[in-house]
Structure 1
């Protein structure tokens, strides 16, 4: 498979890898998410978290679905290893990397209104 294909998994890509140097703890969401986006762009996998690469139909495109599912599972594993253990518990049950990404964004990207008001 061509390495430019988003379903391509390089032999060095392992589920236990941590793609970014610092785990998400909640307070560091902005820098963590930027670092994670850069890592996923480098691996040609950002489409899994930005919604541009939806799951193919399992019934009509079973081969593409299997490839998508393999890559999605790898990204889910990378995400779970890139967050603090208490946050990882919620990732384990997710079905898609997009679902996890949206949940983390919604939970941690909230602006601090009082701090903004003071500025």
Structure 2
């Protein structure tokens, strides 16, 4: 519970920080970006950062290092984190797509 809560807070902090830096960079470059786009990208950054942090907390680093040595274990664990995070992103995209299809079909059924 504490690990998941920590990952959530960490992801929120990292995502908010990266989004703030990005918006500040765009503002200094005098580029106009729609607010909805900035919020959407910021939300994706928060979700991605939270997922990577959560997967990092749940990785079995000591086993990886024991099995593959220090450098090999860190590389192996990092590859596991990246692979599982990418799988989560693909599932999230699929779930959003399925929900959009269901909503659209429900909307079409009203008429």
Normalised to the residue count of structure 2, the TM-score between the two structures is: 0.29
Q: Would you tell me which structure has more helix in proportion to its own residues? A: 2
Which structure: larger Rg? 2
Normalised to the residue count of structure 1, the TM-score between the two structures is: 0.28
Tell me: higher relative CO, structure 1 or 2? Use CA pairs within 8 A at least 6 residues apart: 1
